[in-house]
A and B are shown apart, each in its own frame.
Chain A
C-alpha cells in the first residue's frame, strides 16, 4: 500500500494561478501546504475559485501557472500515462455524484480500479476477486451492502453519493478531493454523507480536501478551514478560530449571518 505516513501524502501548492479569460484571474497566487492527514475544508462564495482550486489538483482544470507538488511530482506538469498514474492515487467525490447511471452499483464502485485494470478486462468485467471482495467491503461500510446489483439510477441522491465515496476509496487513494459533495443533498443526508466520508477516510489515514459552501458542515467536520475570497486565501486556521468577522471578510455582507 506504500508509505502511508503523513509526509508521503502531503500536498504543496506554490504560486498557483488560473485564468479562464485572459486578464481575469480566478485564482491568484495561491500558496498552500496541506499535510497528509486530516480534513481540510475550503469555504468561500460562489465563483471565488474554490472548485477551480480543487480541480487543479487532479488536473481536471489546467492551471495557468504555478506548481502542485504531490508524491514527488508536480501535478501541473504531468501528462499522458504519468498523469493517469498520478490520478490513480487521488480519489474524488463529485457534486453531482457522477455515477454511470446505466451501470450497477458494483460496476460503479469497481470503476475506481479502472486505472489499474487493462481495458479488455474492464470491458469483460473480469476483475480480481480481491477487488470484488474489497468492493463489497466498501459497500458494507457505506451501508449499501445489498445494493450491489442495482442500477445506479434507481438510487436516491444520498445513496448515490455514498457509492461515489466507495468508488473513491476503491482507488486506495493517498488523497481524497471532494468538490461540493453535499450541495445536491438535503440537510440530513448531507450530514450523513459527510459523516461517512470523514470516518472512512480517517480510518485509512487519508487526507481529505473538501470544497464546501456550508460553513456549519465545514466547522463541524474539518480540522482546518481555508477561506477564499476573490481568488486568494483570506483565512487559514482551525474551525475554532473562524469568527464572524472572518466570515464577513470571506462572504461579504452581514445579513446572512443573522440568526433566523
Chain B
C-alpha cells in the first residue's frame, strides 16, 4: 500500500496535539491560583480551620434527642413538608398552562414569548431572595415560603414541560389532527401521552427540590424547619443542629424513594 521511502513512515504523526484543549486546561489552572489568592484562601487558614472543624464536629456529635427538642423539631419538619407539598401542587397546576403556552410547536410565536419570559423571570431569582420579598409582602410564616417555592417550581416545571413538548414527535400529533380532532382532543390524545412520563418525572424531582428548599426558607422567615435550625445555630446549640440535619437528610431520602416509585407507577 505504501510506496513512500522508509524515512517518510518514521515522521508520521501518531497523535495530533489538541492545542485549544491544552490551552484551556492551563488557563483553568492559572485561574484557580489567581482566584484563590484573591479570595485569600491560603493553606494556613485552611489548616487552622481544620482544627476548628474538629472542635466543631465534636460539638455536633452526639445529636440532641431530648423530647422537647424533638417535638419542636417535628413541628417544624411537618410544616416544611406541608410547604413543599402545597408549593409543588399549586406549582404544577400553574405550570401546565404556562408550559403549554411556551411551546413553539403548539402556539403562535408571540404567545410563546410571553410564556418564556414568565419562565425566565421565575427562574432568575433564587428561592431565598423570592422568599425575602414575599415575607415583606405577606408577612412571616408558611405562606411566604409556599409562594416563593411556587415561583421556583414554575421556573423548573414549566420550562421542562415546554421543552418536552417541543421535543415530542410531531408526526404523532399530526396523525391525531388529521382525524379532525378538536385542539383539546389533539392535546389529550396526541400531546399528553408523549410527555406525561417525563412530566411526572420532573414533577417528582421538583417535589424533592421543594422539600430541600422548604427547609431553608425559614431562615428568612418563610416558615418550616429553617427557622428552628437557624435559631439553634445562632444559639450555638450545635448538637440540636445536627439532629435537625439528620432528620432533613432522612426525609429527603424517603422522598427520593417515593418519587422514584411514583415514576415507576406512571411509566
**CB-based contact B14/A148 at 8 Å:** yes
Residues from chain B with Cβ under 8 Å of A135 in the complex: 14
**CB-based contact B10/A104 at 8 Å:** no
For the complex, give the distance between the alpha carbons of A143 and B1 in Å: 7
A7 at the binding interface (Cβ < 8 Å)? no
Question: What 0/1 readout, one digit per residue, does chain B (137-167) give for beta carbons within 8 Å of chain A?
Answer: 0000000000000000000000000000000
Within 8 A of A (CB), among B1-43: 1-2, 9-10, 12-16
B2, B9, B16: which has the most chain A beta carbons within 10 Å? B2
B12, B13, B14: which has the most chain A beta carbons within 10 Å? B14
> Whose C-beta in chain B lies nearest to the C-beta of A110?
B14
A192 at the binding interface (Cβ < 8 Å)? no
User: Which of B2, B13, B14 is in CB contact (< 8 Å) with A145?
Assistant: B2
User: Which of B2, B9, B10, B13 is in CB contact (< 8 Å) with A149?
Assistant: B13
**Nearest Cβ on chain B to A135's Cβ, whole angstroms:** 7
Residues from chain A with Cβ under 8 Å of B2 in the complex: 140, 145
**Nearest Cβ on chain A to B18's Cβ, whole angstroms:** 11
**CB-based contact B15/A107 at 8 Å:** yes
**Nearest Cβ on chain A to B213's Cβ, whole angstroms:** 38
User: Which of A104, A125, A136, A143 is in CB contact (< 8 Å) with B12?
Assistant: A136
User: Which of A104, A127, A143 is in CB contact (< 8 Å) with B16?
Assistant: A104
For the complex, give the distance between the alpha carbons of A104 and B10 in Å: 19
**Nearest Cβ on chain B to A108's Cβ, whole angstroms:** 12
For the complex, give the distance between the alpha carbons of A107 and B10 in Å: 17
For the complex, give the distance between the alpha carbons of A135 and B16 in Å: 16
Residues from chain A with Cβ under 8 Å of B16 in the complex: 104, 149
A106 at the binding interface (Cβ < 8 Å)? yes
**CB-based contact B1/A132 at 8 Å:** no
**Nearest Cβ on chain A to B13's Cβ, whole angstroms:** 6
Question: What 0/1 readout, one digit per residue, does chain A (135-177) give for beta carbons within 8 Å of chain B?
Answer: 1100010010100110000000000000000000000000000
**Nearest Cβ on chain A to B53's Cβ, whole angstroms:** 33
**CB-based contact B10/A133 at 8 Å:** yes
**Nearest Cβ on chain A to B105's Cβ, whole angstroms:** 31
> Whose C-beta in chain A lies nearest to the C-beta of B9?
A136
**CB-based contact B1/A145 at 8 Å:** yes
B residues neighboring A (CB under 8 Å)? 1-2, 9-10, 12-16
